[in-house]
Each structure stands twice: as structure tokens, then as C-alpha cells.
């Protein structure tokens, strides 16, 4: 097939504007972790040169970047900043915040909603309890993936190639004496998270603090955020945190319904 060939013989390109094609390309990305130019050609019915030009332009403006897999593209820094800002704004101004407040009241602990950005979890909203020694992750606060229950949720959701690439970046910073910095050990914990559907943390990020997190999914089942609860060890044990997983999962389901009007 030459550079000007269409993905299927005799098929004409759609009559769409450059803006529509750019948005449709980002929608393709939203359906998966990454994509190849050939997928843009097929789904948008574009010739090879047009598809490459479209993807290159989005990469130039920071909306896409080359992924870990050769020939694949993933969300770029500008797109991540945009998505983070939109989600943070919609969460803070919607009934989602009320759900966090309700969860904080029921658990008597701080609960937070986070999203992934690079190798960190960024917290987009939190609700604080009235209990003493309460932790608070304010909007915009970030924490590493390797030593938080929230981070473990996102690691467990990664395709194998992305997870393996992340594990190759270890060992990581020893934040506390309990921080898991060995890649093999962390992978075992990630696999446990995949199997159980939740993640726990015992003093790995903040000494004397336990945490638990569950995924928040979109209507297609993809993980878009994580819901977590953190508590001082003097008030909650790790078993206490595991016992509230069902409550967290129910709240996560409500957040999905609110965000997607499901």
C-alpha cells in the first residue's frame, strides 16, 4: 500500500473537519491505553499520510506522546493536564463531593479521590472526618504509585507491558521503613490487588498510617480513578480497613453513576 492508499481499497475518507478528526483520535485513545497509527487509519477511514499527519500534529501540541511499545502512542502531558483539570472541576462541583463527605462520616476517616499522572497519584478531591489525628490530602496533592494503596490500584490496572516497564524503573525511594522498593515484591502485591479488587497499605507512605483503596470505573468498566480511605494506626488496624472495602466499593459505584449519569 502506498502512502496515499486508503485503509481499504476503494474507500473514501470521511468528510470531516481537522478538529473533528483530532477529537475522534482522542476518543480512540480514551477507549484504550494506547494505539497505533494504523488503528487511526482504520477507524477514521483515513489514508496513511493523513493519519500520520494527524497523529504527529497531536504529538507536537503535547496531546499525544510515543508510548513504551514501539509504534504506539499514549496520552501526552497536555492531554493529561486537561483531563485532570476537567475531572477535578466536575468532581468538586458535583454530587461526587457529597458522596465523599458521606463516606468520611460513615468511616470517621479521611477519604480521597485520585487519578494517575505519570508515576504519581494526583488527588482531585477529599473529605475530612471530625476525628482527631485526621489526615488530609488536599486537591492537587500527589503521592508515588509504588507506596500507596491508590497507586497499587492503578498499577494493577496496567497492561502487562506497561506494568513491566514501570517495575523496571525500580527500586524506588524508601519513603518509610515499610516502603516496598523491590520490584519483585511490589509485583506480588499488585497481583494480590488484581485478584482481590482492592489495595491496602501499612505505613508505606506515612509512618503509622494505614490505607485501603478501590477502583472507580467508567460505564465500560475501565478504571478512571481510585477511592481511598486513610487512618492513623492507633485508631484503625489493617483488618479494620479491609472490613470497609464493601462500603468503598458501593460508594465507587455511586460515583460512576453520578459521573456518567448511569
Is-contact 63 29, C-beta < 8 A?
Answer: no
Q: Which of 31, 51, 75 is the last residue of a domain?
A: 75
Do residues 236 and 201 share a domain? yes
Summarised one tens digit per residue, pLDDT across range 115-131 is: 998 889 999 889 988 77
Do residues 47 and 141 share a domain? no
Q: Which of 42, 59, 75 is the last residue of a domain?
A: 75
Q: Where are the alpha helices (DSSP H) in 61-157?
A: 77-92, 95-107, 149-157
In a domain, 217, yes or no: yes
Phi and psi of 137, rounded to 5°?
A: -100, 100
73 falls in which pLDDT band (50, 70, 90)?
Answer: confident
Domain extent for 69? 18-75
In a domain, 7, yes or no: no
In a domain, 6, yes or no: no
Closest CA to 224 of 84, 104, 112, 102: 84
Do residues 112 and 213 share a domain? yes
pLDDT of res. 93: 56
10 falls in which pLDDT band (50, 70, 90)?
Answer: very low
Beta strands in the chain (DSSP E): 35-36, 64-66, 72-75, 110-117, 120-127, 142-144, 199-202, 209-217, 223-232
213: cell is 483503596
Summarised one tens digit per residue, pLDDT across range 181-208 is: 999 999 999 999 999 999 999 999 999 9
Do residues 181 and 220 share a domain? yes
* Total domains in the fold of the chain: 2
Amino acid at each position: 500500500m502506498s502512502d496515499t492508499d486508503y485503509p481499504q481499497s476503494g474507500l473514501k475518507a470521511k468528510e470531516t473537519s481537522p478538529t473533528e478528526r483530532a477529537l475522534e483520535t482522542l476518543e480512540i485513545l480514551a477507549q484504550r491505553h494506547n494505539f497505533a497509527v494504523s488503528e487511526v487509519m482504520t477507524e477514521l477511514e483515513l489514508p496513511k499520510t493523513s493519519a500520520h499527519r494527524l497523529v504527529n500534529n497531536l504529538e507536537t501540541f503535547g496531546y499525544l506522546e510515543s508510548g513504551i511499545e514501539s509504534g504506539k502512542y499514549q496520552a501526552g502531558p497536555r492531554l493529561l493536564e486537561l483531563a485532570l483539570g476537567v475531572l477535578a472541576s466536575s468532581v468538586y462541583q458535583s454530587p461526587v463531593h457529597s458522596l465523599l463527605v458521606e463516606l468520611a462520616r460513615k468511616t470517621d476517616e479521611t477519604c480521597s479521590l485520585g487519578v494517575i499522572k505519570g508515576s504519581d497519584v494526583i488527588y482531585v478531591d477529599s473529605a475530612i472526618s471530625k476525628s482527631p489525628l485526621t489526615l488530609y490530602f488536599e486537591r492537587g496533592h500527589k503521592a508515588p504509585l509504588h507506596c500507596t494503596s491508590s497507586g497499587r490500584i492503578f498499577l494493577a490496572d496496567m497492561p502487562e507491558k506497561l506494568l513491566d516497564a514501570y517495575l523496571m524503573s525500580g527500586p524506588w525511594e524508601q519513603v518509610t521503613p515499610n516502603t516496598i522498593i523491590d520490584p519483585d515484591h511490589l509485583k506480588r502485591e499488585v497481583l494480590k490487588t488484581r485478584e482481590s479488587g482492592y489495595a491496602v497499605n501499612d505505613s508505606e507512605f506515612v509512618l503509622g498510617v494505614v490505607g485501603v483503596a478501590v477502583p472507580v470505573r467508567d460505564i465500560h468498566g475501565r478504571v478512571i480513578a481510585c477511592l481511598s480511605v486513610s487512618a492513623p494506626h492507633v485508631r484503625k488496624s489493617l483488618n479494620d480497613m479491609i472490613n470497609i472495602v464493601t462500603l468503598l466499593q458501593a460508594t465507587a459505584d455511586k460515583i460512576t453513576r453520578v459521573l456518567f449519569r448511569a
